A = this chain, B = another copy of it.
Protein backbone atom coordinates (compact mmCIF):
# COMPACT_ATOMS: atom_id res chain seq x y z
CA UNK A 1 0.00 0.00 0.00
CA UNK A 2 1.35 3.39 -0.97
CA UNK A 3 2.02 6.05 1.64
CA UNK A 4 0.36 9.39 0.94
CA UNK A 5 2.70 11.27 3.31
CA UNK A 6 4.23 14.16 1.39
CA UNK A 7 2.72 12.68 -1.76
CA UNK A 8 0.04 15.15 -2.79
CA UNK A 9 1.07 14.23 -6.32
CA UNK A 10 -0.89 11.01 -5.64
CA UNK A 11 -3.98 13.01 -4.68
CA UNK A 12 -6.65 14.70 -6.75
CA UNK A 13 -9.49 17.15 -6.17
CA UNK A 14 -12.91 16.73 -7.71
CA UNK A 15 -14.02 20.28 -8.43
CA UNK A 16 -17.38 19.63 -6.72
CA UNK A 17 -15.42 19.66 -3.45
CA UNK A 18 -15.01 23.42 -3.87
CA UNK A 19 -18.70 23.96 -4.60
CA UNK A 20 -18.38 25.16 -8.21
CA UNK A 21 -18.03 28.75 -7.06
CA UNK A 22 -15.57 30.06 -9.66
CA UNK A 23 -14.68 29.41 -13.29
CA UNK A 24 -12.84 26.19 -14.05
CA UNK A 25 -9.55 27.84 -15.09
CA UNK A 26 -9.33 29.50 -11.67
CA UNK A 27 -10.10 26.24 -9.88
CA UNK A 28 -7.40 24.49 -11.89
CA UNK A 29 -4.81 27.11 -10.90
CA UNK A 30 -5.87 26.88 -7.27
CA UNK A 31 -5.64 23.07 -7.14
CA UNK A 32 -2.23 23.07 -8.83
CA UNK A 33 -0.94 25.79 -6.50
CA UNK A 34 -2.02 23.71 -3.50
CA UNK A 35 0.24 20.93 -4.76
CA UNK A 36 -2.25 18.31 -5.86
CA UNK A 37 -1.35 15.97 -8.69
CA UNK A 38 -4.78 15.79 -10.23
CA UNK A 39 -8.21 17.24 -10.70
CA UNK A 40 -11.62 15.96 -11.82
CA UNK A 41 -13.77 18.57 -13.60
CA UNK A 42 -17.46 18.50 -14.52
CA UNK A 43 -19.10 18.89 -17.89
CA UNK A 44 -21.14 21.92 -16.87
CA UNK A 45 -17.89 23.71 -16.04
CA UNK A 46 -16.52 22.94 -19.49
CA UNK A 47 -19.59 24.42 -21.16
CA UNK A 48 -18.46 27.89 -20.13
CA UNK A 49 -14.81 27.31 -20.96
CA UNK A 50 -12.54 27.08 -23.98
CA UNK A 51 -11.93 23.32 -24.07
CA UNK A 52 -8.59 23.49 -25.85
CA UNK A 53 -7.34 26.20 -23.51
CA UNK A 54 -8.36 24.12 -20.49
CA UNK A 55 -6.57 21.08 -21.91
CA UNK A 56 -3.42 23.17 -22.49
CA UNK A 57 -3.62 24.64 -18.99
CA UNK A 58 -3.90 21.19 -17.40
CA UNK A 59 -0.88 19.91 -19.32
CA UNK A 60 1.19 23.01 -18.58
CA UNK A 61 0.50 22.55 -14.86
CA UNK A 62 1.15 18.80 -15.10
CA UNK A 63 -2.25 18.03 -13.56
CA UNK A 64 -3.72 14.61 -14.27
CA UNK A 65 -7.45 14.43 -14.94
CA UNK A 66 -8.57 11.61 -12.69
CA UNK A 67 -12.07 11.59 -14.10
CA UNK A 68 -14.46 13.60 -16.23
CA UNK A 69 -17.87 14.02 -14.56
CA UNK A 70 -20.28 12.71 -15.68
CA UNK A 71 -22.61 10.80 -18.01
CA UNK A 72 -26.07 11.85 -19.07
CA UNK A 73 -28.49 9.42 -17.43
CA UNK A 74 -29.07 6.33 -19.55
CA UNK A 75 -32.53 4.90 -18.68
CA UNK A 76 -35.21 6.73 -20.63
CA UNK A 77 -38.94 6.55 -21.14
CA UNK A 78 -38.69 6.02 -24.91
CA UNK A 79 -36.19 5.17 -27.64
CA UNK A 80 -35.77 8.75 -28.79
CA UNK A 81 -34.80 9.95 -25.33
CA UNK A 82 -32.55 6.91 -24.87
CA UNK A 83 -30.66 7.58 -28.10
CA UNK A 84 -30.41 11.28 -27.30
CA UNK A 85 -28.71 10.37 -24.02
CA UNK A 86 -26.31 8.04 -25.83
CA UNK A 87 -25.44 10.83 -28.28
CA UNK A 88 -24.77 13.25 -25.47
CA UNK A 89 -22.53 10.71 -23.75
CA UNK A 90 -20.60 10.04 -26.96
CA UNK A 91 -19.85 13.75 -27.28
CA UNK A 92 -18.71 13.86 -23.67
CA UNK A 93 -16.37 10.89 -24.23
CA UNK A 94 -14.69 12.88 -27.00
CA UNK A 95 -14.24 15.78 -24.57
CA UNK A 96 -12.81 13.38 -21.99
CA UNK A 97 -10.28 12.31 -24.60
CA UNK A 98 -9.31 15.92 -25.28
CA UNK A 99 -8.71 16.37 -21.54
CA UNK A 100 -6.72 13.11 -21.48
CA UNK A 101 -8.97 12.03 -18.61
CA UNK A 102 -8.20 8.74 -16.90
CA UNK A 103 -11.87 7.89 -17.27
CA UNK A 104 -15.35 9.15 -18.05
CA UNK A 105 -17.59 8.77 -15.01
CA UNK A 106 -20.76 6.82 -15.61
CA UNK A 107 -23.42 7.86 -13.13
CA UNK A 108 -25.94 5.76 -14.94
CA UNK A 109 -29.27 7.31 -13.92
CA UNK A 110 -32.34 6.21 -11.98
CA UNK A 111 -35.80 5.16 -13.07
CA UNK A 112 -37.29 7.11 -15.97
CA UNK A 113 -40.14 9.44 -14.96
CA UNK A 114 -43.28 7.50 -14.22
CA UNK A 115 -41.57 4.11 -14.36
CA UNK A 116 -41.33 1.51 -11.60
CA UNK A 117 -39.46 -0.94 -13.82
CA UNK A 118 -36.17 -1.25 -11.95
CA UNK A 119 -35.14 -4.39 -13.80
CA UNK A 120 -35.87 -2.72 -17.14
CA UNK A 121 -33.84 0.35 -16.22
CA UNK A 122 -30.92 -1.88 -15.30
CA UNK A 123 -31.18 -3.62 -18.66
CA UNK A 124 -31.22 -0.23 -20.41
CA UNK A 125 -28.05 0.70 -18.57
CA UNK A 126 -26.31 -2.43 -19.83
CA UNK A 127 -27.49 -1.76 -23.35
CA UNK A 128 -26.42 1.87 -23.21
CA UNK A 129 -22.94 1.14 -21.87
CA UNK A 130 -22.48 -1.49 -24.57
CA UNK A 131 -23.22 1.21 -27.16
CA UNK A 132 -20.75 3.62 -25.54
CA UNK A 133 -17.91 1.12 -25.39
CA UNK A 134 -17.23 1.49 -29.07
CA UNK A 135 -16.77 5.24 -28.73
CA UNK A 136 -14.61 4.72 -25.65
CA UNK A 137 -12.30 2.40 -27.58
CA UNK A 138 -12.02 4.83 -30.52
CA UNK A 139 -11.20 7.66 -28.12
CA UNK A 140 -8.91 5.61 -25.87
CA UNK A 141 -11.03 6.63 -22.86
CA UNK A 142 -12.01 4.29 -20.06
CA UNK A 143 -15.62 4.23 -18.91
CA UNK A 144 -15.95 4.06 -15.12
CA UNK A 145 -19.24 2.67 -13.85
CA UNK A 146 -19.82 4.31 -10.48
CA UNK A 147 -22.11 2.35 -8.16
CA UNK A 148 -24.09 4.93 -6.20
CA UNK A 149 -25.47 4.52 -2.71
CA UNK A 150 -28.81 2.65 -2.66
CA UNK A 151 -30.54 5.83 -1.46
CA UNK A 152 -30.07 7.13 -5.03
CA UNK A 153 -31.61 4.11 -6.77
CA UNK A 154 -34.81 5.91 -7.80
CA UNK A 155 -33.33 9.21 -8.95
CA UNK A 156 -29.67 8.92 -9.89
CA UNK A 157 -28.35 5.41 -10.36
CA UNK A 158 -29.82 1.95 -10.60
CA UNK A 159 -26.30 0.55 -10.14
CA UNK A 160 -25.91 0.41 -6.38
CA UNK A 161 -23.20 -2.01 -5.30
CA UNK A 162 -19.64 -2.80 -6.27
CA UNK A 163 -20.58 -6.39 -7.06
CA UNK A 164 -23.35 -5.23 -9.39
CA UNK A 165 -20.98 -2.86 -11.22
CA UNK A 166 -18.34 -5.57 -11.58
CA UNK A 167 -20.95 -8.01 -12.91
CA UNK A 168 -21.85 -5.42 -15.55
CA UNK A 169 -18.17 -5.18 -16.50
CA UNK A 170 -17.95 -8.96 -16.84
CA UNK A 171 -21.09 -9.04 -18.95
CA UNK A 172 -20.14 -6.20 -21.29
CA UNK A 173 -16.38 -6.66 -21.43
CA UNK A 174 -15.62 -10.33 -20.76
CA UNK A 175 -12.28 -10.11 -22.56
CA UNK A 176 -11.17 -7.09 -20.54
CA UNK A 177 -10.29 -4.96 -23.50
CA UNK A 178 -9.30 -2.09 -21.27
CA UNK A 179 -12.09 0.44 -21.71
CA UNK A 180 -14.46 -0.53 -18.93
CA UNK A 181 -14.02 -0.43 -15.18
CA UNK A 182 -15.51 0.76 -11.92
CA UNK A 183 -15.20 3.95 -9.88
CA UNK A 184 -15.10 3.04 -6.21
CA UNK A 185 -16.38 5.82 -3.96
CA UNK A 186 -16.24 5.10 -0.25
CA UNK A 187 -19.32 7.27 0.42
CA UNK A 188 -21.43 4.98 -1.75
CA UNK A 189 -19.95 1.61 -0.81
CA UNK A 190 -18.67 1.73 2.78
CA UNK A 191 -21.74 0.07 4.35
CA UNK A 192 -21.82 -2.97 2.04
CA UNK A 193 -21.38 -6.26 3.94
CA UNK A 194 -19.92 -7.78 0.76
CA UNK A 195 -17.52 -5.00 -0.16
CA UNK A 196 -14.34 -6.46 1.30
CA UNK A 197 -14.93 -9.92 -0.15
CA UNK A 198 -15.77 -8.36 -3.50
CA UNK A 199 -12.63 -6.20 -3.56
CA UNK A 200 -10.38 -9.21 -2.96
CA UNK A 201 -12.19 -11.37 -5.55
CA UNK A 202 -10.60 -12.03 -8.94
CA UNK A 203 -13.55 -10.17 -10.48
CA UNK A 204 -12.26 -6.88 -9.02
CA UNK A 205 -8.68 -7.40 -10.09
CA UNK A 206 -7.69 -4.67 -12.54
CA UNK A 207 -11.24 -3.27 -12.73
CA UNK A 208 -11.01 -0.29 -10.35
CA UNK A 209 -10.19 2.77 -12.44
CA UNK A 210 -11.08 5.56 -10.01
CA UNK A 211 -11.08 5.89 -6.22
CA UNK A 212 -13.04 8.63 -4.44
CA UNK A 213 -12.85 9.60 -0.79
CA UNK A 214 -14.91 11.72 1.59
CA UNK A 215 -16.58 10.45 4.77
CA UNK A 216 -20.03 9.36 5.93
CA UNK A 217 -21.25 11.54 8.78
CA UNK A 218 -23.40 10.25 11.60
CA UNK A 219 -26.88 11.75 11.33
CA UNK A 220 -26.34 12.85 7.76
CA UNK A 221 -28.72 15.78 7.27
CA UNK A 222 -29.11 15.80 3.52
CA UNK A 223 -29.12 12.83 1.16
CA UNK A 224 -27.08 14.62 -1.49
CA UNK A 225 -25.17 17.54 -0.06
CA UNK A 226 -23.92 16.53 3.38
CA UNK A 227 -20.82 14.44 2.81
CA UNK A 228 -18.09 14.67 5.40
CA UNK A 229 -14.41 15.55 5.22
CA UNK A 230 -12.12 12.55 5.63
CA UNK A 231 -11.75 11.77 9.32
CA UNK A 232 -15.00 13.43 10.39
CA UNK A 233 -17.17 10.37 9.81
CA UNK A 234 -17.34 6.63 10.32
CA UNK A 235 -15.57 5.14 7.32
CA UNK A 236 -12.35 3.14 7.68
CA UNK A 237 -10.70 4.94 4.79
CA UNK A 238 -7.25 3.46 5.02
CA UNK A 239 -8.58 -0.09 5.15
CA UNK A 240 -10.65 0.49 2.02
CA UNK A 241 -7.76 2.15 0.17
CA UNK A 242 -5.58 -0.82 1.00
CA UNK A 243 -8.12 -3.21 -0.52
CA UNK A 244 -8.63 -0.99 -3.57
CA UNK A 245 -4.89 -0.84 -4.20
CA UNK A 246 -4.65 -4.63 -3.85
CA UNK A 247 -6.89 -4.86 -6.94
CA UNK A 248 -4.06 -3.24 -8.87
CA UNK A 249 -5.33 0.33 -8.74
CA UNK A 250 -2.42 2.73 -9.18
CA UNK A 251 -4.32 5.94 -9.84
CA UNK A 252 -4.72 9.03 -7.74
CA UNK A 253 -6.91 9.28 -4.63
CA UNK A 254 -9.63 11.75 -5.53
CA UNK A 255 -11.50 13.85 -2.96
CA UNK A 256 -15.16 14.38 -3.80
CA UNK A 257 -17.19 16.16 -1.14
CA UNK A 258 -20.66 17.61 -1.68
CA UNK A 259 -21.23 19.77 1.39
CA UNK A 260 -23.55 22.69 0.82
CA UNK A 261 -23.81 23.96 4.38
CA UNK A 262 -20.28 23.29 5.59
CA UNK A 263 -17.29 22.94 3.25
CA UNK A 264 -18.86 24.88 0.40
CA UNK A 265 -19.18 27.84 2.75
CA UNK A 266 -15.46 27.94 3.56
CA UNK A 267 -12.67 29.67 1.60
CA UNK A 268 -11.49 27.37 -1.20
CA UNK A 269 -7.86 27.44 -0.11
CA UNK A 270 -8.84 26.37 3.42
CA UNK A 271 -10.80 23.45 2.00
CA UNK A 272 -7.80 22.40 -0.09
CA UNK A 273 -5.37 22.59 2.81
CA UNK A 274 -7.75 20.55 4.97
CA UNK A 275 -8.07 17.98 2.19
CA UNK A 276 -4.28 17.76 1.98
CA UNK A 277 -3.93 17.28 5.72
CA UNK A 278 -6.75 14.75 6.05
CA UNK A 279 -5.65 12.70 3.03
CA UNK A 280 -2.30 12.16 4.72
CA UNK A 281 -3.73 11.60 8.22
CA UNK A 282 -6.75 9.41 7.45
CA UNK A 283 -6.57 7.88 3.96
Contact = CB atoms under 8 A, between A and B. Distances in A.
B193 A154 contact: no
Chain multiplicity (copies)? 2
A153 interface: yes
* Chain A contact residues: helix, strand, loop or mixed: loop
Contact of A111 (B116, B154, B234): B234
Interface size of A as a range? 20 to 34
Contacts of A190: 118, 153
Interface string A110-130: 110001111000100000000
A79 to B, nearest CB: 22
A116 B223 contact: no
Contact of A160 (B111, B191, B218): B191
Interface in A173-231: 190-193, 216-220, 223
A235 interface: yes
Contacts of A149: 150-151
A216 B154 contact: yes
A155 interface: yes
Interface in A220-276: 220, 223, 233-236
B151 A193 contact: no
A122 B234 CA distance: 14
Interface of A: 110-111, 115-118, 122, 149-151, 153-155, 160-161, 163-164, 190-193, 216-220, 223, 233-236
